[in-house]
């Protein structure tokens, strides 16, 4: 048993495991591979190395080289192979080393994986998962820090997921593997080892398309997903210190997204701040904003505001300025609360 496996199987007296995001992800992959022999894992250096961030560390040792194997540095080939295997009855988990490198595989994702069910009249599906580290906060620069989720939320036929906690990383990954349609699974790399969480030792799945209310409140709603969530909670705490009751919603899934939970919250508070780190233009949160104004216009007490990344290439060393940290969120919240 590896040191990582030992951590994953050390159950506390309360029946929980204390794991960080990447350990929980690793455990979720192992559990799905144990449960279903059609699940295979491949990508650049995912085998003996365990991936660039060690998300797949030790998995090849447990399942062998036929089910866990390295590929050439060719993202189009990785996804193309995953589509072919999925159509033929396998459930591949393909890793793209950084979300920034999804570009070479773009055609395979949007023209092949996303359309198999529709073009075949539902005779075939593509039950595959494309895992990829995304987002900034690790000084990776413009080729290793981007948040390209909106390219994929715009494509019918794909499910798009981005967890923010170890609990959700494990549960959503397991749900993604069991999905009969392709899932793009974004992993905020700055959260990989940011904190640990006590999660149940027993098997569980987090349903795709269900948001999580991280904190209940009455004056203002903050909606986010992925890497921004810890900062959203900090902003909510700062506002709470000023006597503002803030509701915080973590979308977790972008396609499908949980419109019902968001609308119910905004109907209660009347004010909403949308937060993500992707560039603002054509940001997925634009769709959320449109849905809110379309269905709740008469109940809004202030215009919908958004705090996002900037419409520039991701900078090498200015992560803290580029990312929508708690200070930018608090300033936007003050604008919402002061609107008359």
CA atoms within 13 A on the CB side of 279: 12
Residues near 194 by beta carbon (within 8 Å), at least 6 away in sequence = 20, 21, 230
Q: Per DSSP, what are the bridge partners of residue 328?
A: none
Active-site pick, 142, 143, 144, 154: 144
Q: What residues does 309 pair with on adjacent strands?
A: 279
Helices 326-338 and 229-241: crossing angle, nearest 10°? 50
Q: Which helix (H) or strand (E) holds 310?
A: none
Q: Which residues does 89 contact at the CB level (< 8 Å), separation at least 6?
A: 38
Contacts of 202 by beta carbon, 8 Å cutoff, 6+ apart: 15
143 is catalytic: no
Q: Which of 255, 288, 97, 104 is nearest to 179 (CA)?
A: 255
CB-side exposure of 65: number of CA atoms within 13 Å? Answer: 5
Please tell me the distance from the alpha carbon of residue 143 to that of residue 146, in angstroms, as a whole number. 7
> To 10 degrees, the CA torsion angle through 318, 322, 323, 327?
100
Q: Indicate if the alpha-carbon torsion angle 191, 288, 184, 321 is positive or negative.
A: negative
Catalytic positions, please?
A: 144
């Amino acid at each position: 048993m590896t040191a990582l496996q030992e951590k994953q199987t050390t159950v506390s007296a309360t029946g929980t495991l204390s794991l960080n995001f990447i350990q929980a992800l690793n455990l979720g992959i192992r559990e799905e591979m144990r449960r279903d022999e059609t699940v295979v894992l491949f990508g650049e250096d995912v085998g003996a190395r365990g991936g660039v961030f060690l998300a797949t560390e030790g998995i090849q040792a447990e399942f062998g080289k036929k089910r866990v194997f390295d590929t050439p540095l060719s993202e189009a080939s990785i996804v193309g192979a995953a589509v072919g295997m999925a159509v033929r009855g396998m459930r591949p988990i393909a890793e793209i080393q950084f979300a920034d490198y999804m570009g070479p595989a773009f055609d395979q994702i949007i023209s092949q994986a996303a359309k198999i069910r529709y073009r075949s009249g539902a005779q075939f599906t593509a039950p595959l998962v494309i895992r990829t580290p995304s987002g900034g906060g690790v000084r990776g620069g413009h080729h290793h820090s981007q948040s390209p989720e909106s390219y994929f939320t715009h494509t019918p036929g794909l499910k798009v997921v981005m967890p923010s906690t170890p609990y959700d990383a494990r549960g959503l990954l397991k749900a993604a593997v069991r999905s009969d349609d392709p899932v793009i699974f974004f992993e905020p790399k700055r959260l990989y080892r940011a904190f640990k969480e006590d999660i149940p030792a027993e098997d569980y799945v987090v349903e795709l398309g269900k948001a999580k209310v991280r904190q209940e409140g009455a004056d203002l709603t903050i909606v986010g997903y992925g890497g921004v969530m810890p900062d959203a909670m900090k902003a909510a705490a700062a506002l709470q210190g000023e006597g503002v009751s803030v509701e915080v919603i973590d979308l977790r899934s972008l396609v499908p997204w949980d419109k019902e939970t968001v609308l119910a919250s905004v109907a209660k508070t009347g004010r909403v701040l949308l937060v993500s780190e992707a560039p603002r233009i054509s940001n997925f949160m634009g769709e959320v904003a449109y849905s809110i104004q379309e269905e709740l216009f008469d109940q809004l007490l202030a215009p919908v505001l958004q705090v996002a990344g900037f419409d520039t290439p991701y900078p090498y060393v200015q992560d803290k300025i580029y990312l929508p940290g708690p200070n930018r969120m608090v300033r936007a919240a003050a604008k919402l609360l002061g609107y008359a």
